[in-house]
Each structure stands twice: as structure tokens, then as C-alpha cells.
Amino acid sequence: MVVDNSISEPINEVLEALNLDETLVIVVKRRDWFFKDFQHILHDDQVWLAMKGSEELLAFDCSLSWEKYIFKHPQPKRPNSLRIYEAHVGMSSTEPVINTYANFRDDVLPRIKKLGYNAVQIMAIQEHSYYASFGYHVTNFFAPCSRCGTPDDLKSLIDRAHELGLLVLMDIVHSHASNNTLDGLNMFDGTDSHYFHSGSRGHHWLWDSRLFNYGSWEVLRYLLSNARWWLDEYKFDGFRFDGVTSMMYTHHGLQMTFTGNYNEYFGYATDIDAVVYLMVVNDMIHGLFPEAISIGEDVSGMPTFCIPVQDGGVGFDYRLHMAVADKWIELLQKKDEDWRMGDIVHTLTNRRWLEKCVSYAESHDQALVGDKTIAFWLMDKKRNGVVGRKEK
């Protein structure tokens, strides 16, 4: 039998070739393969190609089977007051390894429940190449991080959380994307403007990432379908939208102090397309999933941020009150007698009228991004106090 060279030429890792009753069976592993009819087999698939005469028979290895995951437990009702535990699945192991969805499900979720939380917020788990980004430089918006396991493993984690009565909030990244060209959306069609703004407006100079063009219908469809995908397919109970301030302003909130002047919120620096997208996605979430929770990470204090869309607002349920956590770290760096109670009260109460906020002691921004946990700050103070007494 003659094999067409155009087909056989890419085969560099043929593991086995058997001639059985005029049928050539080739087992191929971990190799891209293009066939005459333009079918493409991904590099991690195990494939059997059976050729009999001039006939090509293509079939996946029958030992590999897949069935859709069936959720066993209903989603818990939305609590009146959220108590959120933020976690990074990969960093949740006590060992120096990348933890898995399965281990997080079995080892961490019961502890979160025991500590009295009613919701767990999973840090950015959309597929990403750069692990040190903590998941915020997304390369595949529809896939969960493969380092931690399979999609079904993640579904099993969420199912177990629901069994324990825990809501699962996803840290969703729609504010920017990885600038990778080989495995990301950047230069997807050979131009820099397929999903993003072209030129300098399409690049975030601090995050080194690409910025979406929210005025494009195709981008709106892509991001809206992405938000629905995670709620529909994985049964997440809501989102924490990352980097909303960066979305709403062309200056991205960088080197900018918001004083409360309305021109800062509704001036030329406001990205109207981005604000409209946030209104549309929140309207979609609450229309299709009435129990779902929407939290926005905003430091600007945008008016109407937590007012329903039908009332003219942006539509979030909660604003992430980031200034509170920063204030605790600031206080721990000072002597107790230097604390100003009026300043503390102002930080805790500085919000829009009737605006619901998520206030917290610390998050990854304080514990990982150039800082350390409150526990370490307190231990430092204790240690320094002991050393000081010994010296005296």
C-alpha cells in the first residue's frame, strides 16, 4: 500500500506501525496532524488512523470516553449577608505543589464551611499561560485552568460546595486579556484590533496586557456568552468582576485621585462603551439567573454603580470596598497612638447612599501583591515588641 507523502511527512513520533490484514494501523501521541479533509487532531489526543487500500478510517481511541457531568446538589439560596472566603486553588496546598480542584474540594471546602463562611470566591481560574499572574492574564476565556485538573473536576468542586451550603463566586476577568499571540486572543486574525483597541489604547501599560474594544458587537457577544457559559455550564453562583475601574476610564484609574467631582465620572475620560457593557452583562445575569450575585471591583466610587439597570444604574449588587483593606494594613504600620479614629470611621462609611459593599480585612492584593498577610504584620509587631523589651 502506498501512503501519500503529504499525509505521512508530519509523522515524526509514530509509536507503532502494524500491518494487519492489509490494514495499516498507526498510533500517534502528542503530535499535531492535519488530514486531507482538513480535520485537525489536537496535540494531546490519542488517535488511531486505520487505512485500508485508499480508504481512510479515523477514530479516537475507544478507551477514552466522556460523559457530561451531572450536578447532584441544588444551588444554595442567596444569603442576606455574604461572608466570603477568597482562595486560589493552585496555592491552597500545604505542600510546595500546584493544588488540584479535587484536593481543594476534599480538603479546603470543609474547612471553609467550618470557619463559618457561606461563600467561596475562587481567584481567576480561566486558562492562563503565565502562572505568576495568579490567573489574571487570560489566554482562553472559556476554559478552566488545566493545571488544577479537568473541567469535570471543577464542576465536582462546585457541586460539593453546594452540598455544604456554600455559594461559589468566580473571579471573572473581562477587563483585559493576555498579550500572548500563540495561545491567546492577541493578533488572532493577524491584526491587533480583532478583539481589542488598536494602537496604544489597546495596551495596558502597567499590566502589560490587551484591552477590549467594548464598542464592537463581536466583542460584546463574546464576553456576554462567556459570562453566561460559566453560570450555565459550571453552575457558578455569581461573579466578582476584576478591574472594573480600569474598564470604565481610559486612564484606567492610574495616577488618578478621585475627589467626588462628577466630571471625573462623566467626562471625556469615561469609556462609555465599557460602562454600557457592564450594564448589559449585569442585566443579562440578573435576567437569566435571578439568584446570581454580581460584585464589581471599583476604587473610583462611580455613582449609580449598585443601582439596578432598569433604574439607570450600572447594575452591580455590591461594590468591592477596597479602601478598607488598605486602611487596616496602613494602621498596622503605625503606632496605636497614631491611629486617627475619625479617619478610620470615614474609610469604613465612605460609600454611596444605600450602596451595598463587600468590606474585608485582606485579599490577594494585600497578601500577595507586594505586601503580606495581616497575620504576618501582627507577628512582626509582636516580635519587635519582644525584642524591644529584651533590649531594654
Q: Which amino acid is at 328?
A: W
| Per-residue burial over 49-79, b = 16 or more CB atoms within 10 Å of its CB, e = otherwise | bebeeeeeeeeeeeeeeeeebeeeeebbebe
Q: Which residues lie below 8 Å from residue 251, measured CB to CB, with a gap of 6+?
A: 269
Helix (H) or strand (E) holding 240, with range, is strand 238-241
Q: How far apart are CA 159 and CA 74, in angstroms?
A: 8
* Dihedral over Cα of 172, 177, 182, 187: its sign: positive
Closest C-alpha to 238, from 178, 198, 277, 281: 281
What is the CA angle 98-142-47, rounded to 5? 80
Contact 214, 274 (CB under 8 A): yes
Q: Which of 271, 297, 298, 362 is catalytic?
A: 297
Q: Is 148 exposed, middle or buried (0-12, 13-18, 19+ CB in 10 A)?
A: buried
The alpha helices in 109-184, defined as continuous H runs, are 109-114, 151-163
Q: At which residue does the C-alpha cell 507503532 appear?
A: 16
| Dist. CA 174–CA 209, nearest whole Å | 12
Given the residues 242, 271, 298, 317, select the one marked as catalytic: 242
Q: Is 189 a known active-site residue?
A: no
Please count the other Cβ atoms lying within 10 Å of the Cβ belonging to residue 220: 18
CA distance 6 to 16: 20
* Run of H or E including 170: strand 167-172
CA 59, distance to chain mean position in Å, is 35
CB 212 within 8 A of CB 269: no
Relative to beta strand 238-241, strand 293-296 is parallel
**Among this protein's residues, is 232 annotated catalytic?**
no
Catalytic residue list: 242, 297
